[in-house]
């Protein structure tokens, strides 16, 4: 499978600018024969939406996502796009829209672990779905979720072949996502993609370091702090060391507390 990471710098509250970045990135990924492109957390609006959430959030059939769906259909590519979602319940969520190659909404993942002041503006998601696609069974996470091993393990046990993480991680926490993403791949014997952003918003400095990691924890692509749109081949079902066999050797009867 060919996967593309869009490690870019969105402008806060400027959807049209960010849609242009999305449009250009999807076109580049398409030229490189990519199957799927991943964007960072809240990429549509920038991270610090805060008090402006009611003006910036969209429903899943809102104008911005409708445009992105058309782009996916035009270029026959899957996309994972971070956006602030206004739910049918009136609450706001940090969400990832999973759009398929026909321009349909494969599904939406809502961040289940909110970080710091996010709790002032957003509600927590309540589900950890796995999406069955022609590419394989794919689970999504968002940023702080990666620091809770239960999420990745739940996705693996539900049959996921791949975990995709949209990130908006900042200094001084760069070491966290680097270590945790590799750990989630190794302990669950599953490839992990983590796509982070760059740039600054107020006192927040986002650290990049997007990665593609195979099921052994080997980093196949590391983007460091350089802006760009990169594509790489990722085998979903590469063999792992049978002497380890973490999933097969679990002792479930001991873990309930």
> Is 72 a residue of the active site?
no
Q: Provide the CA 122 distance to its chain's centre, in angstroms.
A: 18
Pull the structure tokens for residue 101. Answer: 């190659």
Who's near 82: CB < 8 A, 6+ residues apart? 39, 40, 41, 42, 43, 44, 94, 95, 96, 142, 166, 168
The residue whose two tokens read 């760009």 is 228
The active-site residue, picked from 28, 58, 72, 143, is: 143
> Is 41 a residue of the active site?
yes
Pull the structure tokens for residue 179. Answer: 């270590």
Instruction: Indicate the angle between helix axes 174-188 and 149-157, nearest 10 degrees.
Output: 30
Who's near 64: CB < 8 A, 6+ residues apart? 15, 19, 44, 58, 83
Helix (H) or strand (E) holding 141: strand 136-142
Q: Provide the CA 99 distance to its chain's centre, in angstroms.
A: 12
> Is 207 a residue of the active site?
no
Q: Residue 142 and residue 89: Cα distance in Å, rounded?
A: 21
SS3 72: helix
The active-site residue, picked from 111, 156, 182, 230, is: 111
Pull the structure tokens for residue 82. Answer: 């971070």
Rounded to whole angstroms, the maximal C-alpha distance in the chain is 53
The active-site residue, picked from 15, 28, 41, 85, is: 41
**H helices then E strands: how many in the chain?**
6, 14
Residues labelled catalytic = 41, 111, 143
């Amino acid at each position: 499978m060919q996967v593309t990471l869009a490690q870019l710098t969105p402008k806060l509250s400027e959807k049209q600018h960010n849609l242009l970045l999305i449009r250009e990135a999807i076109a580049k990924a398409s030229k490189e024969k990519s199957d799927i492109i991943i964007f960072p957390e809240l990429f549509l609006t920038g991270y610090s939406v805060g008090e402006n959430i009611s003006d910036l959030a969209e429903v899943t059939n809102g104008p911005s996502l409708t445009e992105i769906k058309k782009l996916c259909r035009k270029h026959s590519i899957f996309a994972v796009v971070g956006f602030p979602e206004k739910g049918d319940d009136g609450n706001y969520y940090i969400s990832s829209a999973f759009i398929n190659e026909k321009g349909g909404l494969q599904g939406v993942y809502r961040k289940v672990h909110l970080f710091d002041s996010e709790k002032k503006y957003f509600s927590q998601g309540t589900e950890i779905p796995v999406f069955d696609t022609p590419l394989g069974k794919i689970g999504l996470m968002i940023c702080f979720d990666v620091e809770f091993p239960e999420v990745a393990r739940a996705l693996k046990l539900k049959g996921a072949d791949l975990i995709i993480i949209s990130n908006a991680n900042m200094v001084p926490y760069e070491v966290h996502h680097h270590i945790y993403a590799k750990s989630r791949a190794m302990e669950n014997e599953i490839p992990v993609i983590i796509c982070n952003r760059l740039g600054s918003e107020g006192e927040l400095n986002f650290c990049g370091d997007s990665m593609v990691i195979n099921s052994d924890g080997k980093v196949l692509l590391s983007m460091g702090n350089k802006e760009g749109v990169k594509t790489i081949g990722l085998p979903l079902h590469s063999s792992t060391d049978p002497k380890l066999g973490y999933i097969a050797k679990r002792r479930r009867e001991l873990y309930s507390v």
